[in-house]
Amino acid sequence: MRFATKAIRAGQGADPATGSIIVPIYQTVNYIFDDIGRPHNFEYSRSANPTRSALEQCLASLEEAKYGLAFSSGMAAVDAVLSLLRPGDHVVSSEHIYGGTFRLFEKVYAPRGVSFSYVDGTAPEAFAAALRPETRLVWIETPANPLLQLVDVEAVAAIAHARGARLAADNTFASPYFQRPLAQGADIVLHSTTKYISGHSDVIGGAVLTNDTQIFEQVRFYQNAAGAVPGPQDCWLSLRGLKTLAVRMRQHEANARRMAEFLAGDRRVEEVLYPGLPSHPQHELAKRQMDGFGAIVSFRLPGGLAQVRWFIQAARLFLFAESLGGVESLVCHPATMSHGTLTPAERERIGIRDGTLRLSVGIEDADDLMEDLDQALASSGK
């Protein structure tokens, strides 16, 4: 089956009990046992639930993975992957990652004895230089939040594997529709399913996908032991969102291209960051390893924080809010929102300035969105 068909059908056969063509919400905790030590099928919904299993099978199919695990949030998925590490282990991470991931690295796992090094993710040789004998994991996010730097997945996977390390790739921004890192050599793929996979800003979730049986078993054990599982209602909402992932991503990207091109041609804007623009320094890499350029557009206003305030107050369709990936368009100020936990010096070092804004371009009419950007820029420039 091809992508759009798998999104609707994989893991979602007719319900055997009723014949329902939609996977039911199995709102249950317990299941009967046939005998001592012999569950009829499922045994306890922290360990597994039929609605969750359908979501996991569908996500695995879309990411070209053997195994999928759904979590209660994207950060729960990140934590589950980090559970593979032990005190004394070392992680090499691209320096451009979500602020919440950085916080978990430095505030939770570093005090437990795991060490982290951060490198320029756009330079594969930087990963090679940072690897140590105790390096167990290489962590990348591509495209990266919020400045949309890309990592050459195939090159970094080869570097990690040559030194006995695993590669984990956060694929949230691209979604499996535009990028499948496991096929390019990654060992683990993560998602905040809150974003494009669910797609409607109404459910929190995460996922871990892999082809490695040992990784799957270890992460599944940790999930069951720690209990960061999504409820069946959340899984059902994510499954519903998946059914339209292909059509949504096509429209998201079409709209984002128009916004990026409009902003790039506007002298009121200092810089536009979007992998689909030929001006993006990794445009050729994006064409090679992605099937599309995504729907996040970041840009800089020359007037800094004061101009940002004017812009967000003037915008009408681009709502000022956290998160991304829903059908509605949002504008985020990374310095005070997604990366607010970083110090000013850390933000400056990786290029997140006060004048930086991140657009999550929705699927509204593109002309309306462009008009909104135009009038917001006009208001902010006064």
What residues act catalytically? 46, 98, 170, 195
Tokens of 212: 């490695």
Q: Which of 276, 292, 289, 207 has the alpha carbon at shortest distance from 241?
A: 207
Q: What is the CA radius of gyration of the chain?
A: 21
DSSP H stretches of helix in 29-164: 50-62, 74-82, 99-103, 124-130, 153-162
What crossing angle do the helices spanning 366-380 and 304-314 adopt, rounded to 10°?
A: 130
Of 115, 174, 146, 145, the C-alpha closest to 292 is 174
- Of 308, 298, 314, which Cα lies nearest the Cα of 336? 308
CA 330, 335, 340: angle at the middle one, nearest 5?
A: 100
230, 52 in Cβ contact below 8 A?
Answer: yes
Question: Which residues fall within 8 angstroms of residue 111, CB to CB, at 6 or more apart?
Answer: none
Q: In what order do the strands lie in the sheet with 296-300?
A: 271-273, 296-300, 356-360, 330-332, 319-320
CA–CA gap between residue 293 and residue 85 (Å, rounded): 33
Q: What is the C-alpha to C-alpha distance for residues 64 and 54, in angstroms, rounded to an integer?
A: 15
